[in-house]
Amino acid sequence: MRRPYLIAGNWKMNHGPAETEAFFAAFEAPRHPEVEVLLCVPYVSLPAALVRGGYARIGAQNLHFENDGAFTGEISGSMLTKMGVDSVIIGHSERRQYFGETDAHVLKKTRKALESGMTPIVCVGEVLAERRAGTHVDVVKRQIDAVFTQLDAAQASATVIAYEPVWAIGTGETATPEQAQEMHAAIRSWLASDTRILYGGSMNAANAEALLSQPDVDGGLIGGASLKPDLFMSIVQTAIQLR
């Protein structure tokens, strides 16, 4: 069976509850059994998204790796699943860069997300200096191995990977479809499981078709272009047309 596409939006720190209501009032993507749609919204917008999201899956952008306790300001996986949240982004490059998240945190959070019953979306990707130095494949392999050597086959299949070259995030500069496919094929060769691999980094309505048509690209993790309902819908449409 073909791996279904996953078209995932990452709103980052954008769209509070009122903007979330407005987004979903205007968002009506056509459905297809092989195209899943997910929106990862700020914690405070989860209630509005869960009520208004229609058939879209709703995810968070982070979780803590314990269930409860003295962790001021944190939110646990079990809190999220009890609300109805079914996915969570883990180890986004902004979390690694600004909040000190390491491969060890990413592993703990991935385990907790799986234990809580959520789909973890584990982000990996090299920075520009690593790409220029030609070490990008090694960097991504280290990030993947840190998590996937510790998961069993069922856990690995239930996890999603997002390959996001850091130099392409929010910069308008996208990896070429060939660069994306090359890394996705490498990641696939390291995995024993049928894990889906999304591409992220300036994916938009104009470049989505070329990226999504690569054989090892199973969807997208989309930042800027997921904030506007029409732009995001057009990426969902592109995925549907490719099926």
Let me know if 92 is a catalytic residue: yes
Please tell me the total number of residues recorded for the chain in this structure. Answer: 243
What does the angle CA 208 – CA 118 – CA 28 come to, to the nearest 5 degrees? 45
**Which single residue is written with the structure tokens 């860069």?**
97
**Is 36 near ligand PGA (CB under 6 A)?**
no
For residues 120 to 149, the per-residue mask of contacts with ligand PGA, x marking binding by CB under 6 A and - elsewhere, is ------------------------------
Phi/psi zone of residue 36: left (φ > 0), alpha (ψ -120 to 50 degrees), beta? beta
**Is 221 near ligand PGA (CB under 6 A)?**
yes
Residue type, 57: R
**Which single residue is written with the structure tokens 């996208």?**
174
Q: Which residues pair with 58 in a beta bridge?
A: 39
Phi and psi of 239, rounded to 5°? -60, -40
Which of 77-85, 150-158, 209-217, 221-229 is the region at the interface with ligand PGA (rule: CB under 6 A)? Answer: 221-229
For residues 145 to 184, the per-residue mask of contacts with ligand PGA, x marking binding by CB under 6 A and - elsewhere, is -------------------x----xx--------------
Nearer to ligand PGA among residue 77 and residue 165 (C-beta): 165
Let me know if 209 is a catalytic residue: no
Structure tokens at 226: 């997921």
Nearer to ligand PGA among residue 14 and residue 213 (C-beta): 14
Name the residues annotated as catalytic. Answer: 92, 164
Q: Which residues bind ligand PGA (CB under 6 A)?
A: 10, 164, 169-170, 200-203, 221-225
